[in-house]
Structure 1
């Protein structure tokens, strides 16, 4: 089990390869619904029910009854996705439009990227649907997991119908445009590029320490409009670089929203030369 945790993960069309183990992420059909319910019950009863009163436990079981889930699938657009290893269900995520309603991973497979794979699948679906913000009423058990992947608390802890939850949200990347962020500079102007010895940084670059991307790395950023070496910077996200050969992005942060796209491209071009990418820009009305 620990060996699997160290093997590099490759993501190919929603198929996650961990060494010789294939983790398939796909929709859960009605035939697999009982298996999904059993997994949810198992995790809930072993680790989560402590935060529920007797009333809350009864309400939870009502929500995951097969008839209830089928009704929501047919009438409320509930979608269930799962992670499968050799056809064994190892994790479940349920969502209705922009709201996550279920998120459970078999304890035997926790720490192996199942939750991450489920969230990645859903985030891609949400982007294609034009959703700009995802919300979830997180239990205390998984609050830190959601925070790890960029979710943030939006209100006070709620105790309702015997259940305790924390309202949280996740802004999809295009919502980051216009956000005010703090950048820690680890590649100041004049530094030689670590992988391109003939190239040095003509702009400052760094990372945003309180935001993780889906590869568990800090969100990287370029700083536009400052032409001397600096150690840190506060500014507005004016652009997002989307790389076509990988899922990660790089943000362009500036101290002004009055910018010319050609000027920005000219500043960062030497660091992205020959890279296949698109840039999403902040639009000012």
Structure 2
């Protein structure tokens, strides 16, 4: 997939997700505005009802306390239609209507806050949509220049890369040919030191590597007799084959050497015998 196709596909995916989010925010905003309109209508109706009930209360308050409770105005509600109101019931109804109006006004404030928040979110999403929609034009304006540069520089860059790789190979080969045996040995020793330093924190591995290097050194030695002598001396120093005096037993085939004199005799015998692999 080219850069142009990838950028166009990625931009289309982002645009689809962003448009879906914008539609959801718009739907929530429309619902909130509908709720706000219904709350405002309900508040206006309750305020008119409160005015009527307050008028009834005022008339009953101004009337003589001994006079009978005669209705001054019948309420418009279906529950109260044609029913005379007493001062107590009128005052209770006024208080109830006032509480409902207060509750509806609180709902109106919350809905207005939600609408303002959704409007700001919608404006931010629209600005992002505009920015993303302008990306393909910017990419289309930049890609022809990049393609022309690639066509102009591509073959030459590939040729330079091939020449550099060949030059590195020839220089390595020339250094290997010009290197003396002493230089090769020094380089090998430096590599061994680097290998040991790499495993310096892991002592078991370091010991294994030291043994492996010593074994290589003994195998690559020019004199096999010297290599065998060094190996026997190293075994004697490490006491891998020495046993305590209490475990003295006649040496047989396959048994360990349990005495330093026997070990010395074995060493003299091995030194006098010709070495065969």
Q: Same fold (TM over 0.5)?
A: no
Higher CA-based Rg: 2
Q: Per residue, is there more helix in 1 or in 2?
A: 2
TM-score, normalised relative to structure 2 = 0.19
TM-score, normalised relative to structure 1 = 0.19
Q: Per residue, is there more strand in 1 or in 2?
A: 1
Higher relative contact order (CA 8 A, sep 6+): 2
